[in-house]
Amino acid sequence: MIADMLEADGATVEMHRAGMDFPVDASVYDLIFLGTFTWDMGATPDEVKDFVLEVGYKPDNVAVFGTGDTQFGGDDLFCRAVDKLARFYGSRWPGLKIEQSPRGSQEQRVEDWLKGVLRDVKSLAG
């Protein structure tokens, strides 16, 4: 969904599947969108932790988003991995936290968040 919206905005998008694809050179990207789910009562998945280690430093251009399920742990644990990663990277953008399989108003939240990130990036570049 995010990749489609970025491409519609004219961006070139490369997708990397954490834990499956070869490590990336994060320094070649203008903006990195890091997506995660939350695992086991608020934990960041091992695949995402491995990705962070593979990058080897903290880029300052990371926007974090992720899915969760409020039925497992309630609001206190909902998308906690998003909060942890956004804090770790010192992201200038708030993390986007949505339920799994976003629909309706959740899709609008994704669109609004992405527009905010892109608006900020374009103002920084201009």
In this predicted model, what pLDDT tens digit does every residue of 37-87 receive, in sequence order?
988 778 899 999 999 999 999 999 999 999 888 777 777 888 999 999 999
Provide the token pair at 24: 């990336």
- The structure's pTM equals 0.91
From the list 88, 104, 46, 85, the residue with the least C-alpha distance to 96 is: 85
Q: How far apart are the first and last CA of the chain?
A: 26
Question: Tell me, what DSSP letter sits at residue 39?
Answer: B
pLDDT digits (tens, 9 = 90+) for 104-122: 788 899 999 999 999 998 8
